[in-house]
């Protein structure tokens, strides 16, 4: 962007590894230098993350008896959040597709925001999986070659591969682009365009595989539906753009990064389609469940209306439906791109709606009633909320720091020769 020809020449003669360490050092400086707002934000996130870390340490020591999960409801808030975060990671691809397949220039300029979100979301996914393990000290049993990797039979091994693969792909793409910008060089398409295209397919795969994790279980009729993977994807393509729209607006207000209305308009257009498809799929599911009836409907009955006097999830799911419908109305309103508050509310409602639907509305009712049709309800314990909040804080830290590094490099405020356009 701002790299002049002289600096480029100098760069080319400099030793690679030396430059790379300079890049890392500069990134470190960027990550630790900032305004008071930045410090306050990071301190807050650190504090919450530490509370979560402590809660997790206690959980590992005392056992998962401290959660409210039981042998009846054996997955809870962690896996619910995990599922949602996979969606968020996959949803980021909705920036990548317009930028790279449809050559949307303006989207291309800000696509890094989505790619970094994918990284942060995947990191959170991995953390949610780790805190859900009864024996995190045995994580190495999962490492192919060292442990015993039950591939390809176990869908969880597929998930390990696709999630880590997606993380590596995005780390490579973002890292390469940032490093080239830092050097002031034009990125060589050979080194990233193929990976971008792989990452598009890969993004679809992470959420498909995650859906297969559940829908392949014959003993859980609530999950055992072919619509699960498509539903996961469409909801991901709502929640991903919704989060990115909110992030772009914050970036626009707090940094010098130029975010035009174009990308936001594109994302809104995408959401207008996906949120409607998502609603259609929810309606299809509800119709199939309730028109057919029978024993396999009991989870859905429990979720939407309560069963035998048990109705812990009813308020959750109806909040989710109301939020999704309202978000749809807001987003479909033609004025939404002019009235940013409308857009913001719409995005927040969509995020909340889908977070509930993918979490409390999907994972938990899969276990209620149990496979022997016993009704044991579940509500997360305080410890589970603490750990979940901690992971969210840690994820936001990763996202904030990566944006904090990426934006000055992208705007050209920082490169190999210039520490910072304002403070240098």
Partner 1 sequence: MRSLPPYRISGFDEQKTLTETGDTLKRWRQNTIGRRIGWLGLGLLLIGGLFTLVIWSGPNRAAPSEKNSSRAGHGPSEPIQTSDRLPKGVNIRQPDGPPRVATGKTNSLGEPVTVQCATCHATTESNHDLQGVKELDEFHQGLEYQHGALHCLSCHNPEDYNTLRLANGRSLPFSKVKTLCAQCHGTQARDYRNGSHGGMVGAWDLSQGGRYRNNCIDCHDPHHPEYPKLMPVFEPKPPRTAPSQPANKEKH
Partner 2 sequence: MSDTNSDSTPDQGTSRRTAMKAMGLTLGAAAFAKAIAPLTQWTADLSLDEFLQKHYKELSNDELANVIERLEAETKEEYGAEVEINDYRPEPGVQFGYALNLSICIGCRKCAEACHKENNHDRASQESYIRVLEMDKGSTNLENGNANYKHPVPKSDKYYMPVQCQQCDYPPCVDVCPVEATWKENDGIVVVDYNWCIGCRYCEAACPYHARRFNWTKPQVPKDQINPNQGYLSNRIRPQGAMEKCTFCLHRTRQGQMPACLEACPTGARVFGNLLDPNSTIRWVLENKRVFVLKEDLGTKPRFYYFFDE
Residues near partner 1, by CB under 8 A: 65, 68, 70-73, 308-310, 312, 374-379
Q: Select the binding partner of residue 305 from partner 1, partner 2, none (C-beta < 5 to 8 A, by kind).
A: none
Nearer to partner 1, 364 or 401 (CB): 364
Nearer to partner 1, 71 or 137 (CB): 71
Nearer to partner 2, 263 or 408 (CB): 408
With beta carbons less than 8 A apart as the criterion, state whether 42 and 400 touch: yes
Q: Select the binding partner of residue 74 from partner 2, partner 1, none (C-beta < 5 to 8 A, by kind).
A: partner 2
Nearer to partner 1, 8 or 301 (CB): 301
d(CA 78, CA 202): 23
Minimum separation from the CB atom of position 188 to partner 2 (A): 28
Nearer to partner 2, 302 or 316 (CB): 302
Phi, psi of 307 (to 5 degrees): -135, 130
Nearer to partner 2, 74 or 339 (CB): 74
Q: Select the binding partner of residue 376 from partner 1, partner 2, none (C-beta < 5 to 8 A, by kind).
A: partner 1
Minimum separation from the CB atom of position 376 to partner 1 (A): 5
Residues 6+ apart with CB under 8 A from 268: 241, 245, 331, 336, 337, 343
Q: Largest alpha-carbon pair distance within the chain?
A: 76
Q: Select the binding partner of residue 310 from partner 2, partner 1, none (C-beta < 5 to 8 A, by kind).
A: partner 1
Q: Give the closest residue to 19 by CA, choosing from 216, 178, 145, 198.
A: 178
Q: Would you call 194 exposed, middle or buried from its count of C-beta atoms within 10 A (0-12, 13-18, 19+)?
A: exposed
Q: Which two tokens stand for residue 139?
A: 């994580």
Q: Select the binding partner of residue 157 from partner 2, partner 1, none (C-beta < 5 to 8 A, by kind).
A: partner 2
Q: Select the binding partner of residue 371 from partner 1, partner 2, none (C-beta < 5 to 8 A, by kind).
A: partner 2
d(CA 78, CA 381): 11
Q: Select the binding partner of residue 379 from partner 2, partner 1, none (C-beta < 5 to 8 A, by kind).
A: partner 1
Q: Would you call 341 exposed, middle or buried from its count of C-beta atoms within 10 A (0-12, 13-18, 19+)?
A: exposed
d(CA 238, CA 234): 6
Minimum separation from the CB atom of position 304 to partner 2 (A): 17
Minimum separation from the CB atom of position 99 to partner 2 (A): 23
Minimum separation from the CB atom of position 51 to partner 1 (A): 22
Minimum separation from the CB atom of position 423 to partner 2 (A): 5
Nearer to partner 1, 73 or 251 (CB): 73
DSSP code for 310: B
d(CA 245, CA 179): 26
Nearer to partner 2, 134 or 334 (CB): 134
Minimum separation from the CB atom of position 380 to partner 1 (A): 9
CA distance readout (Å), 76 to 101, 112, 145, 224, 358: 38, 32, 30, 18, 12
Long-range contacts (CB closer than 8 Å, 24 or more residues apart) made by 24-27: 26/182, 26/414, 26/419, 27/178, 27/405
Nearer to partner 2, 15 or 135 (CB): 135
C-alpha neighbours within 13 Å on the C-beta side of residue 423:
9
Q: Select the binding partner of residue 8 from partner 1, partner 2, none (C-beta < 5 to 8 A, by kind).
A: none
Residues 6+ apart with CB under 8 A from 271: 237, 238, 241, 242, 245, 331, 350
Minimum separation from the CB atom of position 392 to partner 1 (A): 22
Minimum separation from the CB atom of position 262 to partner 2 (A): 23
Q: Select the binding partner of residue 408 from partner 2, partner 1, none (C-beta < 5 to 8 A, by kind).
A: partner 2
């Amino acid at each position: 962007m701002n790299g002049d020809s002289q600096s480029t020449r100098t760069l080319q003669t400099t030793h690679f590894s030396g430059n790379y360490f300079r890049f890392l050092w500069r990134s470190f400086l960027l990550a630790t230098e900032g305004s008071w707002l930045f410090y306050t934000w990071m301190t807050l996130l650190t504090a919450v993350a530490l509370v979560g870390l402590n809660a997790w340490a206690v959980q590992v020591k005392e056992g998962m008896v401290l959660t409210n999960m039981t042998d009846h409801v054996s997955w809870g808030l962690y896996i619910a959040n995990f599922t949602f975060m996979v969606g968020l990671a996959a949803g980021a691809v909705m920036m990548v597709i317009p930028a790279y397949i449809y050559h949307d220039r303006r989207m291309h300029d800000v696509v890094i925001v989505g790619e970094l979100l994918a990284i942060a979301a995947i990191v959170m996914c991995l953390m949610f999986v780790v805190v859900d393990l009864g024996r995190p000290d045995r994580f190495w049993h999962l490492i192919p070659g060292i442990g015993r990797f039950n591939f390809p039979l176990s869908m969880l091994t597929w998930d390990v591969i696709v999630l880590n693969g997606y993380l590596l792909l995005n780390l490579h793409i973002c890292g390469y682009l940032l490093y080239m910008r830092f050097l002031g060089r034009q990125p060589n398409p050979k080194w990233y365009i193929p990976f971008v295209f792989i990452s598009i397919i890969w993004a679809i795969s992470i959420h498909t595989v995650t859906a297969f994790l559940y829908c392949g279980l014959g003993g859980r009729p609530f999950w055992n539906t072919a619509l699960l993977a498509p539903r996961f994807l469409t909801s991901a393509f709502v929640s991903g753009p919704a989060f990115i729209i909110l992030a772009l607006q914050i970036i626009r207000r707090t940094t010098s990064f130029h975010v035009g209305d174009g990308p936001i308009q594109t994302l809104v257009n995408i959401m207008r389609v996906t949120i409607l498809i998502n609603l259609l799929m929810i309606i299809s599911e509800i119709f199939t469940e309730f028109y057919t009836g029978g024993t396999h409907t009991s989870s859905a009955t429990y979720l939407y209306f309560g069963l035998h006097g048990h109705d812990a999830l009813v308020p959750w799911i109806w909040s989710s439906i109301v939020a999704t419908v309202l978000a749809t109305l807001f987003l479909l309103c033609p004025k939404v791109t002019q009235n940013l508050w409308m857009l913001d509310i719409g995005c927040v409602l969509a995020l909340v709606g889908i977070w509930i639907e993918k979490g409390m509305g999907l994972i938990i009712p899969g276990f209620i009633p149990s496979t022997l049709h016993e009704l044991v309800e579940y509500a997360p314990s305080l410890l589970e909320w603490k750990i979940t909040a901690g992971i969210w804080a840690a994820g936001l830290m990763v996202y904030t720091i990566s944006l904090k590094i990426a934006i000055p490099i992208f705007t050209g405020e920082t490169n190999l020769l210039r520490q910072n356009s304002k403070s240098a």
